Structure 1
Amino acid sequence: MDRKIGVVGLGYVGLPVAVAFGKEHRIIGFDINENRISTLIQGTDYTNEVTGEELREASIDFTSDGAKLKEADFVIVAVPTPINEHKQPDLTPLIKASETVGKNLAKGTIVVFESTVYPGATEEVCVPVLEKFSDMKCGVDFFVGYSPERINPGDKKRTFTTITKVVSGQTPEVLEIVAATYASVVKAGVYKASSIKVAEAAKVIENTQRDVNIALMNELALIFDRLDIDTTEVLAAAGTKWNFLNFSPGLVGGHCIGVDPYYLTHKAQAVGYQPDVILAGRRINDDLGKFIARTLVKKMIKAGIGVQGAKVTVLGLTFKENVPDLRNSKVIDVIRELQEYDVEVQVTDAEANAKDGLREYGVSLIEMDDLEKADAVVLAVPHREYLEKGWDNVQSLLKDGSGIVVDVKSVLPLSEKPEALKLWRL
């Protein structure tokens, strides 16, 4: 059966999903952001996840009118699930999306959620909202499923169609329909989870596992820094063992690894369990930005650079390399901590939009050519452009071609470092 599919939320997750399905099915692409809809209609994806050609090849009716969802019999919800200032799950976008879907739910429709949640959220939170606003009964008049997103922003190799898709449904019959629908576009195939809760849990532990492993690397970096040992060299040596896991230290931001563990810890605490290991990992990763800034300040003092009024250039503000997304970037922690020491920080980013920098953090992004010479440079996000320009570019940003360089992710080749530069890296 050819499904008429509606996709709710056209961000980093929803748009690639809509485009993939749009090559095989009729798609309604819904988003509350009218500017987003307008630019997509014009054939532009400002997140750079899909090309203009891919947009043209897909049969998608882009709209901000929720009533259009009445035409769908299979609705995929792919909205953000952030945390609030208290690091608790903020389900507001998911609840609002469920309200919109509920108001425009046709009888017999299957609603599949892709947003990352804690185990039980689909049935405990979303289903009651769908029932309330549709005035229909779940399991009788409409049905639900869960299929966790696995989109990796900026990754052009591992895409929606080439990653195995975990699927689940509230009944065996619904599961088969959900599986068949996704299998029609996902070349890597589908994995049928035994229940919605299992699928939800599988997703939330994927990023929790990465978070804890990176936290271990960050803690090792803190230890090795005190021992005056280069962490990258230690990891390279240890990595020669066949079963040594390939993780490295760094800032952990974005809306997955730095957020998802809090959904699991929230649910764990709700059922009376204190998840010490997960929360310890979160604490280490959340504090890393301050450690980087304080280390730089110490290096400046040792080098005889007056900290108060010193100028530091930060390369990169996005949450990861080669993407324009600034949300939940941990680079801002480095910037704020440096400013606490009265350091003058100037920030540039090869990918981000200047308006987004002001809106998200009140940071004015400066074009590379307009940067003033600095006492130190922090390569915070290794965008492709910075790597291509290499050491020469970094050195050109410093006063008299000398100063301190902080290479957060240890990407600049040690063998090519100019002698006039003092380097510190995690």
Structure 2
Amino acid sequence: MNLYQDIKERKEKLSVVGLGYVGLPLAIAFGKKADVIGFDINEKKIKLYNDGIDVTEEVGDGELKKSVVNFTSDEKKIREAKFHIVSVPTPINEDKTPNLNPLKGATRTVGRNLTKGSVVVYESTVYPGVTEEVCIPILEEESNMKCGQDFKVGYSPERINPGDKKHRLENIVKIVSAVDDESLDIISKVYELVVEVGVHKAESIKVAEAAKVIENSQRDINIAFMNELSIIFNKLDIDTKAVLEAAATKWNFLNFTPGLVGGHCIGIDPYYLTYKAEQIGYHSQIILSGRKINDGMGKHVAEHTVKNMIKADKQVKGSKVAIMGLTFKENCPDVRNTKVIDIIKELEEYGVDVLVVDPASDAEEVYNEYGIKLWNIEDIKNIDAVIFAVAHDEFKSLTLENILNLYNGSNGKVLVDVKGIFEKDEAENLGYIYWRL
């Protein structure tokens, strides 16, 4: 197979299936080096991309308008390509078990349009075994071809960090794996077209799958430790941020902070690993304990908001609380699996009227997904408490004096600063009842 050379010389095409926060940057990057077909089942998204509008904000409208990628929702176009990258979401169900339906659906689509001599590479985060035990049989069934003979398969986990402008596709080492050495060589060379720092060849697909799923599990556990420390220190009336600043003066102290852990990676991937562990008879202890702590932090924030409102002699039922930020992380429009929703639901249980402000997210998407109306900060008035849940740059530019205008004028201005954007002493000197993780 000389597929790499054919792609490089634009004799063969490459397809990217799934054009979200991972797939779109991939398609744009490869589009500078090869002929690329960008496929997504979302026709509205495809239209926006063809109009040069980047809804993910990962590559920017300018790069999108310059791109020559063929964006389409016509699956038959996939047949024109010989190298396919599948980058669809892998969410979880209500019971925290893996939801492989998007991955299976994308695999069926590729399988129906697979031609002999093709290579299919999966980027979606999965538990070890999914590529070979779930995806390959679907490809074979849909294509009536045999993996290893008629087509090859690989796995190269995505490592893109949404909203991160420093760690990008081109400067993050890419893990690659494949069913055999021949396809591993092709996959490595194809990715090296766009990944400047090179690739790491894993010894098997399962090793690559496992490496990806533990990356986010490790981060989840470290944040859970910080969240547990925050709960303890709060009970001891010690400021967690001050403790972490002191501890960080040691050279090998890990720089993690407490917070809400949501999104489509860190808040989900650990459940993929623990699901597989349960299948082989092992019940996770550390991973699930960390998940339990992190899943409970939204409720924890809401409860302390209510406690501080009571301390301020506020009538909780019927009060108005403004929440600043809804996305799962700062400076990113993605609201999938955001844990700010847990704060909102808990406050509403107390009869609180919650008003949400988020300049980074799409109002229509938020309403369709959660039934929540987004407010402009200029329209927020007569508030009893303000919660800064996400550290968007727009919020960091606000001063404590600016925020005073949001309140109803009565005593006891409750300010909950989840990410520690503001200075505690300054806030308290201005008369705020201030609380942070």
TM-score range, shorter chain: over 0.9
SS of residue paired to 1:198: helix
Distance 2:65 2:375 in 1: 34
- The residue type equivalent to 1:72 in the other structure is A
**What is the CA distance between 1:348 and its match in structure 2?**
1.0
| Correspondence 1:111 to 2:120 | yes
What is the distance in 2 between the residues matched to 1:79 and 1:214?
Answer: 26
- The correspondence of residues 26-425 of structure 1 with structure 2, limited to 5 A, is 26-400=35-409, 403-417=413-427, 418-425=429-436
- Report the alpha carbon displacement of residue 12 of structure 1 after superposing the two structures with TM: 0.2
Contact kept? 1:20, 1:58, Cα under 8 Å: no
For 1:125 and 1:392, the matched residues in 2 are separated by 56
Look up the SS of the partner of 1:143 in the other structure: strand
Aligned to 1:2: 6
Counterpart Cα distance in 2 of 1:199 and 1:156: 25
* Aligned match of 2:10: none
RMSD: 1.0
2:19–2:40 Cα contact (<8 Å) kept: yes
- Between 1:365-374 and 1:408-417, the stretch displaced more is 408-417
Q: Which residue number in structure 2 is paired with residue 13 of structure 1?
A: 22
> Quick one: distance in 1 between partners of 2:352 and 2:364?
23
- How much does 1:89 deviate? 0.3
Contact conserved, 2:381 with 2:405, CA < 8 A, in 1? no
Name the CA distance, whole Å, in 1 between partners of 2:254 and 2:413: 35
Cα-to-partner distance string for 1:49-92 (whole Å, 9 max, x where unaligned): 11222123332111101111111110000000000111100000
The CA distance in 2 between the partners of 1:231 and 1:26, in whole Å, is: 51
The answer to whether the 8 Å contact 2:51/2:65 transfers is: no
* Structure 2 residue identity aligned to 1:420: G
- Identify which range, 176-185 or 51-60, moves more after superposition: 51-60
Shift of 1:416: 3.6
Please give the alpha-carbon distance, in whole angstroms, between the structure 1 residues aligned to 2:332 and 2:23. Answer: 16
Distance in 2 (alpha carbons) for counterparts of 1:32 and 1:392: 47
Q: Which runs of at least 4 in structure 1 moved beyond 3 Å after TM superposition?
A: none
Are 1:164 and 1:191, in contact at CA under 8 Å, matched by a contact in 2? Answer: yes
**Between 339-348 and 199-208, the greater mean CA deviation after superposition:** 339-348
Taking the aligned partners of 2:391 and 2:22, their CA distance within structure 1 comes to 23
Tell me, what secondary structure is at the counterpart of 2:383? coil
The Cα of 1:254 is off from its aligned counterpart by 0.3
Aligned residues: 426
Alpha-carbon offset, residue 2 of structure 1? 3.1
Deviations 1:155-196 (A, max 9, x none): 111111111111011101111100000001111111111110
Q: Which residue identity lines up with residue 6 of structure 2 in the other structure?
A: D
Whether contact under 8 Å (1:8, 1:78) holds in the other structure is: yes
Q: Do the aligned partners of residues 365 and 172 (structure 1) sit closer, same or farther apart at CA in structure 2, a change above 3 Å counting?
A: same
What letter corresponds to residue 55 of structure 1 in structure 2?
Answer: L
CA contact (8 A) 1:183 1:189 kept: yes
TM-score by length of 1: 0.98
Residue 415 of structure 1 deviates from its aligned partner by 4.9
Deviations 1:279-305 (A, max 9, x none): 000000000100110111111112211
Distance in 2, Cα, partners of 1:132 & 1:251:
42
Contact 1:289–1:333 (CA under 8 A) maintained in structure 2: yes
After TM superposition, give the deviation of residue 390 of structure 1 in Å: 2.7
- One-letter code aligned to 1:253: G
Q: Distance in 1 between matches of 2:58 and 2:363?
A: 19
Q: In structure 1, the residue corresponding to 2:6 is in which secondary structure?
A: coil
Stretches of structure 1 that go unaligned for 5 or more consecutive residues are none
Shifted more, 48-57 versus 254-263: the winner is: 48-57
Contact (CA 8 Å) 1:2, 1:25: kept in 2 or not? Answer: no
How far apart, in 2, do the equivalents of 1:390 and 1:195 lie? 52
CA distance in 1 between partners of 2:403 and 2:139 (Å): 53
Q: Report the Cα offset of residue 382 of structure 1.
A: 1.1
- Post-superposition Cα deviations, 1:112-137, rounded to whole Å, max 9, x if no partner, equal 00000000100011001101110100
Deviation at 1:362, TM superposition (A): 1.1
How far apart in 2 are the matches of 1:169 and 1:128?
A: 15
- CA distance in 2: counterparts of 1:55 and 1:220, whole angstroms: 44
- Distance (whole Å) between structure 2 residues aligned to residue 425 and residue 287 of structure 1: 16
SS of 2:345's equivalent in the other structure is helix
In 2: Cα distance, 1:248 partner to 1:2 partner: 47
The residue identity in structure 2 corresponding to 1:73 is: K
Given residue 77 of structure 1, which amino acid in structure 2 is its aligned partner? V
Within 2, Cα distance between the matches of 1:391 and 1:97?
48
